[in-house]
Homo-oligomer: A and B are copies of this chain.
Amino acid sequence: MKLLSKTCMYGIRAVLYLTSLEQEKSYVHIRQISEHLHLSFHFLTKILQNLAAHNIIDSYRGPNGGVSLARPARKIKVIELINAIDGKDSFRGCILALPGCGEGTPCPLHAYWGETRDRIKSAFENTTLAKLEKQITEGGLRLI
């Protein structure tokens, strides 16, 4: 069972780290992020390029360059990251992969699955980076 791809996990962790720094619009080097989270710098760079293309983070080249959140953390929903990295249809996936499903009668596992899946999805839709960050600081939760 894989809720998110590894790529997506890395993206979320990186952006949560950015959130935790909560500097006012100053760029953070990707190298700093990758070292802090123990991730491959090059791989993370690719992931963050994607998030930049989706206007979730801003990026800037050269010395003093780096990445930063494109908006305040309370305006970025976790589902946005998931959609950007794992694709919009990530939560459309079903349980038995029947050909041409969703139109006719459902498979016998649909009842169990559909509801649960929607609940998971809406949890991500209703969670902002700020919300998660609050939990991190209040609950002593960790990113690494």
Check if B132 sits within 8 Å of A108, measured CB to CB: yes
Using Cβ atoms and an 8 Å threshold, which residues of chain B touch A62?
none
Nearest chain B residue, comparing its CB with the CB of A95: B3
Q: Is A2 interfacial (CB 8 A cutoff)?
A: yes
Using Cβ atoms and an 8 Å threshold, which residues of chain B touch A91?
1
Check if A119 sits within 8 Å of B116, measured CB to CB: yes
Interface size class of A (residues with CB under 8 A): 35 or more
Q: Which of A8-16, A41-49, A50-58 contacts B (4 or more CB under 8 A)?
A: A8-16
Copies of this chain held together in the complex = 2
Q: Is A140 interfacial (CB 8 A cutoff)?
A: yes
Check if A108 sits within 8 Å of B6, measured CB to CB: no
Nearest chain B residue, comparing its CB with the CB of A140: B105
- Which residues of A in the span 1-34 have a Cβ within 8 Å of any Cβ on B? 1-4, 6, 9, 12-13, 16
* A9 shortest CB reach to chain B, Å: 5
Using Cβ atoms and an 8 Å threshold, which residues of chain B touch A99?
38, 144
Chain A residues at the B interface, C-beta cutoff of 8 Å: 1-4, 6, 9, 12-13, 16, 38, 86, 90-91, 93, 95-99, 104-113, 116-117, 119-120, 123, 127, 132-133, 135-136, 139-144
